[in-house]
Amino acid sequence: MLAIFDVEGVLFDAEYLPILAEKINKEKEIWEITRKGIQGLINWEDGLRTRVDALKGLDYETCKKVADDLPIMTGAQETCRVLKAAGWKILAVSGGFTIMTDRLKKELNLDYVLSNELVFKDGKLDGVKINVTSDKAKSAKIKIAEWKEKREDIVVTVDGANDMTLFDICGLGVAFRAQDIVKERADITIEEKNLTNLIEEINKHYNLSLQLQTVA
């Protein structure tokens, strides 16, 4: 079994670039482009390059601190712990960046993370290397083939329009606090800001009895 997650808005309770933009008072401009990209109103890759270009010159330390301070989504650690204990593999596919996902991989014990990379020159933000496009399924398929996972055994949990190709490769598509366009395509919708709700939905769909454990 394989669980695939989007990162920003799903495993992280935040969007990285808008927070970074606050450092130079460009949050309104960046949020507007971010929103349009999530809603599928603009070309996602062009939007990402535009946002990073607007933040060029920010120093690495600032970018790293903002990444390190991103809050993990309520219930994400418990959910990942339960899935891993049950023998699931966990893959995160992010339009975000290694500067933030490296920490997430470690803290949530993820098997693999696909993400983009911020490029720094002389300690200053200089651009972006795009490894994960708006066709996130294309990136995910490589690991799915490597792990020999069947489509019906894959659960995808996402929130944005740029995530929706992942619904084409899964047995259960979950819209987590998502855009309306995503809810229309998903098999189920979770509105509460708590990722542990996913375990109940997985149990129902697959007739399993995965148990959340409270950690003292």
**What integer pLDDT is reported at residue 56 of this predicted model?**
94
Task: Give the up-direction half-sphere exposure of residue 67: CA atoms within 13 A in the CB hemisphere.
Answer: 19
- Residue 44: the pLDDT is 83
Decide the pairing of beta strands 112-121 and 124-129: antiparallel
CB-based contact 109:141 (threshold 8 Å)? no
Domain 2-206 annotated CATH 3.40.50.1000: yes
pLDDT of residue 214: 61
What residue segments make up the domains of the chain, in order of their start? 2-206
Question: In this model, does residue 215 exceed pLDDT 60?
Answer: no
pLDDT tens by residue, 80-124? 999 999 999 999 999 999 999 999 999 999 999 999 999 999 999
pLDDT at 172: 97
Integer Cα distance of 99 and 60 in angstroms: 10
Q: Which of 153-157, 160-164, 189-193 has the lowest mean pLDDT?
A: 160-164
